[in-house]
Amino acid sequence: MRSSVTNYKDYARLPMATPPSRPPFGVLRTWADGDGFLNFHDGSYNIIGRFLTGIQATYDKLIAAVKPGAGDYSVIVGSGGSFPNSATGQYNVVGGCANVAAGSNNLVAGSGCRASSRNNLLTGQNNTINAATYCDGNAVAGCDNVITGEFNAVSGLNNVVQGQRNNVSGEHNQVLSSLCNEVSGQDQVVSGTYNQVAGKGHNIQGGFNQVSGQDHAIPEARNHSLIHGHQAACYNNCQSVHAAGKFALGSAGNAQFTTIIAKGITTSLSPVDLMVDTWSPVSLASNKGYAFTVRIFGTIEALNRGYVKEVKGAIYKGANNFATALLAPVIESVILDMGDGFTAVVAACTTYGALKITVSGHETMPVRWIAHVEMLELSFL
C-alpha cells in the first residue's frame, strides 16, 4: 500500500473484539486483533467472520467469543441487524436474521427459523423444528414449515410433518404420525406408512398406496392400492381405482371404476372363498351399486388341467353388511372345463358386505385359483 493513496497506518495491537476506529475515507475490511485472529468486516462495519490457524485451544477460544449469545462452541455468522440470531445449544452454526438454534449440531440460515433439536439443516423463512425427543436429522427449506419428527426432508410452504423419514414438498400438506411417505403437491393429508402421494387435495390413510391426481380419498386404513384420475375413493386392500370426477352432489368415489384380484388354493373338494391379499374379501362400500365382471382361472401344478369361467352381474350394498344382495341372477360363461369337476360361484356375502367368489377343485391335487374383478360403481352419496 502507498500512504499517498490509502489511509495507511500500522495495525495497533488491540484487545479482542475491539476493532480500530473507522478511517475517514473508505471502509477498513480486515484487522488483526490482540489474539492474532484476522477479522473481516462488511460494508456497515459489522464483523462477518474471523480467520485463524493454530492449535485446538486457540480454535476453542475463538468459537467461544464469536458472538454474544452463542452457546458452547456455537457460531453466529452476521449480526442479524435489528433481528439478532441466537444459539443456546452446542455446536450450532447460525446465519441470517432472527434465527434460533436451541439444540445442538444444527445449521440454521435464512430468517425466523427455529431448530430445537439436533443435527438439523434449516434454511428459508419461519421454519420450525419442534423440541421433542425425536426431532433429529431433518433437512428443511422453504417457508412456514413445522416439523415434529426425525430424518425428514421438507421443502415448500406451510407443510406440517410428523413422523420419520418422510420426503415432503409443495404447500399446505399434512403428514401426520407417518413413516417413509413421499408426498408432493398441495393440500394433502397423509396418515400412514410407505405411501407415494402426488397431486392435490388427497386424504390418505393406510400404507403402501400409490396416489396421483386430485381429491382422492382412502378414508380407512387400506393398503397396497393404486388411485389415479380425479375424485376417486379406495375402500379395499390392493384395489386399483380410476375416476374422472364425482357427481356434484356427493363424495369422492360416487362414480368410479375398480379392478381387484383375489386368489386362493383348494386341496380337496371342499369349497374355498378367494381372498384379496390372502385374508380380505372383495369388500364393497356402503350405499353403492356395482356392475361387475369376474374372470376366474384355476389350474393344477402341471398346468395341463384347468378351469376358466366368466361371471357378470350387478350387486348393491346398503347401509350395512346385511343389506348386500345381487340385483338379478348372474350371467355365467364357462370358457374352459376339462371335466375335472371344478366349480366357481359368485354370490353376495352378508357377513362381510362383499362380493363372494367360491371355488372347489380336485379331490387330491392342489389347485391354485385367481379371480380378476372389474366393477363400475355408482352412489348418490
Q: For 18-69, what is each residue's pLDDT tens digit?
A: 566 666 666 666 767 666 667 776 666 666 666 655 555 555 655 555 554 4
| Amino acid 193: pLDDT | 94
- Kindly provide the residue ranges of all beta strands, DSSP E only, lying in 95-253, ordered along the sequence: 100-101, 107-108, 114-115, 121-122, 128-129, 139-143, 146-150, 153-157, 160-164, 167-171, 174-179, 182-186, 189-193, 196-200, 203-207, 210-211, 217-218, 226-230, 239-244
User: Can you give the pLDDT at residue 20?
Assistant: 64
CA–CA gap between residue 181 and residue 286 (Å, rounded): 29
pLDDT at 302: 92
Q: What is the pLDDT of residue 1?
A: 41
Which residues, in sequence order, are bridge partners of residue 285?
Answer: none
Main-chain dihedrals φ then ψ at residue 91, nearest 5 degrees:
60, 35
Positions in the chain short of pLDDT 70? 1-29, 31, 33-37, 41-73, 78-81, 132-133
From the number of C-beta atoms within 10 Å of its C-beta (0-12, 13-18, 19+), residue 56 rates as: exposed
pLDDT at 45: 62
pLDDT given for residue 211 in this prediction: 96
Which pLDDT value is given to residue 133?
Answer: 65
- Helix, strand, coil % in the chain, rounded to nearest 5: 5, 50, 50
What is the architecture of the domain spanning 255-378? Sandwich (2.60)
Please state, in angstroms and rounded to a whole number, the distance separating the CA atoms of residues 171 and 62.
41
Looking at residue 131, what is its pLDDT? Answer: 75
Q: Is 63 helix (H, G, I), strand (E, B) or coil?
A: helix
Residue with cell 485451544: 57
